[in-house]
Structure 1
Amino acid sequence: MAEPRILILGAGPAGAACAMGLQRLGYPVEMVCDWRRFEAVEGVSQRVLDGLRHAGLGSALEQAAMPARRQVHWNGQQQWLNQECLLDRRRFDAALRDDLRRAGVGLIEARVSKLHSTAHAHQVQLSDGRVLHADFLVEARGRQAPLTASRLRGPESVSLLSVWQGAPAEPVSAVQSLADGWAWMARLADGRCYWQISLDSSAGGLPGKAHLPEYCARRRGESALVAEVFGAAAGQAVPVHARSSTAILAGACAGHNWLRIGDAAMAVDPLSGNGIFQSLSSALQAPAVINTLLRRPGQQALALRFHQERIEQLFLRFARIGRDFYAQEADKAGQAFWGPRQVWPDAQPLHLAGDFRQWQVQQRPVVSHGFIEQAEVVVGPDQPLGIWHLDGVPLAPLVRGVQAGQPLQWLLHGRPAPEQARLRGWLAAQGYPV
């Protein structure tokens, strides 16, 4: 039986992580990729570095090793908070492709002109006239992917990015709240400067495209922080790239012969967290989902449920993170830009207190040995999808024993001391008296 032809549209972090995972499962993979049309830099956390390492993207990981001091002007306070690693997206994207080529992934550099899908196959027409056929399609083109009937959409937002060359200096980044939005800025060691302002795109008042350079230069000139970070060069009018930054959760994110991952499945507000981290979060599970859809038809419904539920829960988690950051601006409560974002998507806390009295052991889909399978997991208010194990130790037997009134020392007997300590710590976090 011939191997199914898998085609991934997009070679960003989500597409790359998915491709590497599929290669490890033995699938030949091809990717259609187009270069980013604008320069950009992102600040990434240790979680992103760990995700890249886990995905086997070593060259891309090396491009994220530019630590920078981070200055925060938020809620009337000014402070230096730790540091973040600055990542040049053009170099990062090139490194992703190096990793993919070394792994044997076929890269086709072109733009997608037209996509036609049926229940049995996909036909992709490229900008150079070529036509590709695939049995399984992964949509990973980010916000460029065609929109679906959105299940959830946040306040309408737009981000305006300006880039210019300054003098080499120590890398630094900063975030600043404004009356009508917020700005993030970074200076790389080679002197390249990035400034991005995020605003409400539904409010009106923005000038036309031709006048955006002057508008952004004026906005930078109004900020003492911009002058501190960049110096006088920040006052020049430079080209501006405008892009939507509205949080969008796609409707259906999976079918029996297709999958949406990364920003194509859920694009979050840039204040909600690092975009690369959320892309990796949704993509690392994808190879097991695809493997199940292709190799175990009887478990397709389970795999589709697994992917959809996790995309939705990840989206809500990031949306609530953004909401809580916006809500920190207490003096701006109810204002035009801030008010809607301080209450969206809901009023549910980001984290609910652990309560062992509400634990339930249920059968839920999990990733196991490259497939989606059923397993007993522990479901609670703060973990609606369930927790299967803690550092490799299944939690369901432990919880079932606790609920049956068995002494904890019996349940933990024979386990190594470090393992016992981790399990006791987890139980204590759930309110269980240990």
Structure 2
Amino acid sequence: MNSSTTIAVLGAGPAGVAVALGLRRLGFEVVVVGEWRRFAAVEGVSARVLDGLRQAGLHHALACADLASPRRVLWNGSESALNQEFLLDRPRFDAALREDLRAAGVPLLEARVREVHSDEGGHRLLLEGSGGEQVLQAQFLVEARGRQAPLGSRRLRGPETLSLLNQWQQEPGRGGSAVESLEDGWAWMARLADGRCYWQITLDAASSSLPARDALPDWCAQRRAQSARVAELFGAQALEPASLHARSSTAILALETGGANWLRVGDAAMAVDPLSGNGIFQSLSSALQAPAVINTLLTCPERAELALNFHQRRVEQLFQRFARTGRDFYALEQRWAAQPFWAARRAWPDTEPLHAPAGFAGLRVARAPVLRDNLIEEAEVVVSADQPLGIWHLQGIELAPRVRCLQQGEPFERMAADLAEPQRAMLRGWLQSQGYRPAP
């Protein structure tokens, strides 16, 4: 069977569905092609992941989050329970994403992508599903198949990392989660109220001495037996071998995230270290900007370079921020700093600080791509050491002309005379955070 569409989105995870819904709202004809995950999992996410789901309009998926539960953290020999996270049951979450597609009227083809043939005229996809083979023609292609997406040769990889996910069932009870550092890596564990239990150990792929694959369940059970956190959160079942899924969790950045008729989003554009607990958040971050980028590529092709630069730079900036956050957290573990796992990660991706010091004298006005009315255009922004992509507006206040006035010596009160007092206070607070101090 042959069919055609304006835009084909490959992948029915949060990034793919968010892009599809955004494109649908802009009036594009879009079809999502996806298949179910091959393993069950649970993810611990932060409140800002839930905010991202809400912003993307993924209301059925948002409803899947359990109530916040405390996460016990044992790191560098110290224990805390200050953090909390929301547990997402991925099979239930993935089904809810499909419900969000149905509610928006976006067709979903449950199929595997066998082949993709692309040229300047579009894309020809060979699909394989329960109904047999199908050919889908598309003018534009969105790659959202996560870490499984073909990456090409231009990419940046972090230290090679392997995660072993174990799952088993025990009696229903109180849910919760914990994370602990180990000499050769770290482990995250969670128990759902219905008794499903998950334990994942993350290791250095290059230096780990693991047994043969068929011996891994026993090896993981032995590792769990050494953990006081496991004994507290689970029960005797945790000491038995369990079903196991091995997967790469290496941080990866695609150095080319788009072209005239294609775009990468989510983990297909960049995949972060699972330690951050924000994989879904970063997927949504690139997906939420993608509809405007695609809209620009299709309706204003003369701005293609600008739109692709907007997408690439924001993906790279977010990747670097997450990578440096992970680096700093790894560096907190001092007991095994010389061990291969920790030595590699406490120094990657660089030595640049996560946040650069503020300095008003260092602010500069530059022209950069911005998002306006669902299109990418160029405008004047304020660039700082901590915001190299520039800031255009502060809740509706255009910053560049006001910063320029201050840099030319105009007093704050005169520069902000046209603003209401709440806006003046907000602008003053932002300027002070950037190191601005009015002349006496």
Partner of 1:354: 358
Amino acid at match of 2:180: Q
Aligned counterparts, 1:38-187, within 5 A: 38-127=39-128, 128-187=132-191
Q: Distance in 2 between matches of 1:203 and 1:104?
A: 48
2:213 counterpart (209, 215, 224): 209
For residue 341 of structure 1, report the CA deviation from its aligned partner. 0.2
Q: Any conservation in 2 of the 1:269–1:319 contact (CA below 8 Å)?
A: yes
- Post-superposition CA distance 1:156-198 (Å, at most 9, x none): 0000001111222222111100000000011111111111000
Q: Any conservation in 2 of the 1:66–1:87 contact (CA below 8 Å)?
A: no
Q: Distance in 2 between matches of 1:187 and 1:348?
A: 37
Q: What's the % identity of the aligned pairs?
A: 61
User: Are 2:307 and 1:306 equivalent residues in the alignment?
Assistant: no
Q: Distance in 2 between matches of 1:334 and 1:412?
A: 54
For residue 413 of structure 1, report the CA deviation from its aligned partner. 1.8
Instruction: Give the unaligned 5+ runs of structure 1.
Output: none
1:269 counterpart (265, 268, 273): 273
For residue 202 of structure 1, report the CA deviation from its aligned partner. 1.0
- Post-superposition CA distance 1:80-99 (Å, at most 9, x none): 02311110011111101101
Aligned counterparts, 1:250-269, within 5 A: 250-269=254-273
Aligned counterparts, 1:337-416, within 5 A: 337-416=341-420
For residue 134 of structure 1, report the CA deviation from its aligned partner. 0.5
For residue 4 of structure 1, report the CA deviation from its aligned partner. 6.4
Q: Distance in 2 between matches of 1:241 and 1:44?
A: 20
Q: Distance in 2 between matches of 1:69 and 1:217?
A: 25
Q: Distance in 1 between matches of 2:176 and 2:425?
A: 39
Question: TM-score when scaled to structure 1?
Answer: 0.97
Aligned counterparts, 1:190-209, within 5 A: 190-209=194-213
SS at match of 1:340: helix
Amino acid at match of 2:147: R
Amino acid at match of 2:25: R
Q: Distance in 1 between matches of 2:163 and 2:83?
A: 25
Partner of 1:8: 9
For residue 359 of structure 1, report the CA deviation from its aligned partner. 0.7
For residue 331 of structure 1, report the CA deviation from its aligned partner. 2.5
Q: Distance in 2 between matches of 1:286 and 1:141?
A: 15
Q: Distance in 1 between matches of 2:61 and 2:202?
A: 27
1:247 counterpart (247, 251, 261): 251
Q: Distance in 1 between matches of 2:174 and 2:426?
A: 40
Q: Distance in 1 between matches of 2:69 and 2:171?
A: 16
2:239 counterpart (219, 226, 235): 235
User: Are 2:428 and 1:429 equivalent residues in the alignment?
Assistant: no
For residue 116 of structure 1, report the CA deviation from its aligned partner. 1.3
Amino acid at match of 2:115: K
1:330 counterpart (334, 337, 347): 334
Q: Any conservation in 1 of the 2:5–2:30 contact (CA below 8 Å)?
A: no
For residue 389 of structure 1, report the CA deviation from its aligned partner. 0.8
Partner of 1:32: 33
The 10-residue stretch of structure 1 (259-268 or 403-412) with the greater mean CA deviation from structure 2: 403-412
- Post-superposition CA distance 1:363-400 (Å, at most 9, x none): 10011100000011000111111011111211112211
Amino acid at match of 1:370: N
Partner of 1:21: 22
SS at match of 1:190: coil
Q: Distance in 1 between matches of 2:224 and 2:399?
A: 52
Amino acid at match of 2:344: P
For residue 424 of structure 1, report the CA deviation from its aligned partner. 1.3
Q: Any conservation in 2 of the 1:273–1:318 contact (CA below 8 Å)?
A: no
The two structures, once aligned, show a CA RMSD in angstroms of: 1.2
Instruction: Give the unaligned 5+ runs of structure 2.
Output: none
Amino acid at match of 1:148: G
Amino acid at match of 1:231: G
CA separation of 1:167/1:417 partners in 2, compared to 1, >3 Å: closer, same or farther?
Answer: farther
Amino acid at match of 2:105: G
Amino acid at match of 1:383: Q
Q: Distance in 1 between matches of 2:427 and 2:314?
A: 25
Amino acid at match of 1:144: Q
SS at match of 2:335: helix
For residue 212 of structure 1, report the CA deviation from its aligned partner. 1.2
Q: Distance in 1 between matches of 2:207 and 2:241?
A: 24
Q: Any conservation in 2 of the 1:288–1:372 contact (CA below 8 Å)?
A: yes
Q: Any conservation in 1 of the 2:73–2:81 contact (CA below 8 Å)?
A: yes
- Which stretches of structure 1, 4 residues or more, deviate above 3 A after TM superposition? none
Q: Distance in 1 between matches of 2:413 and 2:277?
A: 40
Amino acid at match of 1:102: A
Q: Any conservation in 2 of the 1:142–1:264 contact (CA below 8 Å)?
A: yes
Q: Any conservation in 2 of the 1:273–1:321 contact (CA below 8 Å)?
A: no
Q: Any conservation in 2 of the 1:272–1:323 contact (CA below 8 Å)?
A: no
Q: Distance in 1 between matches of 2:102 and 2:151?
A: 30
Q: Distance in 1 between matches of 2:402 and 2:25?
A: 33
1:419 counterpart (416, 419, 423): 423
Amino acid at match of 2:334: A
Amino acid at match of 2:403: V
- Post-superposition CA distance 1:195-236 (Å, at most 9, x none): 100001111411222111111111111111111111211101
For residue 147 of structure 1, report the CA deviation from its aligned partner. 2.1
SS at match of 2:389: strand
SS at match of 1:332: coil
User: Are 2:225 and 1:221 equivalent residues in the alignment?
Assistant: yes
For residue 416 of structure 1, report the CA deviation from its aligned partner. 2.4
State the number of aligned residues. Answer: 432
